[in-house]
């Protein structure tokens, strides 16, 4: 089994991409080098149904990906067009390899049930908690159905409702 290049700078880059974009495992795992625009701090995801979308990754994630790219450039197979590479052998790190490595990183950190899709739910929750527009959320996450924001945001709907109630403080104005 090849050791993935996730231990060093790739680990933070991958985790930041998931957390900062809500991307699917296949979208993050299948990124190509030409999908990156680190100066514009964006990436292009190739989503379900052959729908491409460009999303912002922000300065911290851009720096993490840049650090990973510096290490990647010294590896065998650095000329490959895929973003993620295995540490040895100059081969592509497939989405399933990322999935396995995320579980390992979670176990090491003492966090149960770490998987890529978890960040998609967290992204949705944080977006809605911050008052983000549902239409914008749908665009960023590549959804065409109005059911998806409700489904992904359902896990923390009570927390958001309580925070809104506290912020509005309706009973406190009487």
Give residue-wise pLDDT tens across range 122-171: 899 889 888 889 999 999 999 988 888 878 777 777 887 888 888 888 88
Architecture of the domain spanning 10-112 = Orthogonal Bundle (1.10)
Higher pLDDT, 161 or 43: 43
Q: What average pLDDT does range 59-72 have in this prediction?
A: 94
Inform me whether the pLDDT recorded for 5 exceeds 60. Answer: no
Reported as a single tens digit per residue, the pLDDT across 10-32 is 888 999 999 999 999 999 999 99
Helix or strand or coil: residue 56? Answer: strand
Flag whether the pTM goes above 0.85.
no
The residue extents of the domains of the chain are: 10-112, 119-173
């Amino acid at each position: 089994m090849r050791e993935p290049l996730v231990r060093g700078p790739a680990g933070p880059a991958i985790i930041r991409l998931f957390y900062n974009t809500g991307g699917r495992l296949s979208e993050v795992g299948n990124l190509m080098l030409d999908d990156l625009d680190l100066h514009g701090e964006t990436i292009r995801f190739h989503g379900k149904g052959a729908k491409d979308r460009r999303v912002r990754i922000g300065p911290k994630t851009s720096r993490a990906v840049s650090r990973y790219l510096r290490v990647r450039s010294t590896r065998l197979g650095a000329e490959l067009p895929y973003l993620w590479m295995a540490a040895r052998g100059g081969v592509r790190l497939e989405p399933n390899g990322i999935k396995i490595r995320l579980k390992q990183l979670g176990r090491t950190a003492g966090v149960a049930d770490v998987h890529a899709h978890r960040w998609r739910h967290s992204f949705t929750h944080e977006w809605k908690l911050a008052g983000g527009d549902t239409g914008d959320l749908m665009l960023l996450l590549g959804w065409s159905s109005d059911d998806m924001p409700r489904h992904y945001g359902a896990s923390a709907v009570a927390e958001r409702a309580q925070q809104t109630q506290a912020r509005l403080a309706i009973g406190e104005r009487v």
